[in-house]
Amino acid sequence: MLINEATITVRYAETDQMGVVYHANYLVWCEIGRTGLIEELGFKYADMEKQGVLSPVINVNMTYLRPAKYGQQVTVKTWIDSYTGVRVTYGYEMHNSLGELCLTGTSEHVCVNAETFRPVKIKKVFPEWHHAYETNKHNG
């Protein structure tokens, strides 16, 4: 199972009045991790979109365990939690610079035709992606 690691430096604009990262910013960091994982597998979202396929989020689940704060480094770990050939669930963990676990979560995506928004089978449209996802998904 491949786990991508991305490092984010918490910017002041990402924090709220309490000096901690505003909860919605973690979703942006998940996208950074997810994009990094896909690129580490050898693919790009932009190439998928050029072929008329989108990958919208259909479900997000985040558990906030402790705050990340301005100036800290946050490590975003991302992996393929499950894959059905149509749906992909990515798993996430975020740790602050003290090594403390700040967040665990998942986001579920489905590939769809950009014009009709009907689901497409990744195996049929992108066999290389299918093979990489099957090979690298979580086995637990």
Tell me the catalytic residues: 16
Burial class (CB in 10 A: 0-12, 13-18, 19+), 138: middle
3-state class (DSSP) for residue 123 = helix
For residue 78, give the amino acid letter.
T
Q: Which tokens is 32 given? A: 């950074």
> What does the H/E/C string look like for 64-119?
ECCCCECCCEEEEEEEEEEECCCEEEEEEEEECCCCCEEEEEEEEEECEECCCCCE
Query: Could you tell me if residue 117 is left (phi over 0), alpha (psi between -120 and 50 degrees) or otherwise beta?
Result: left
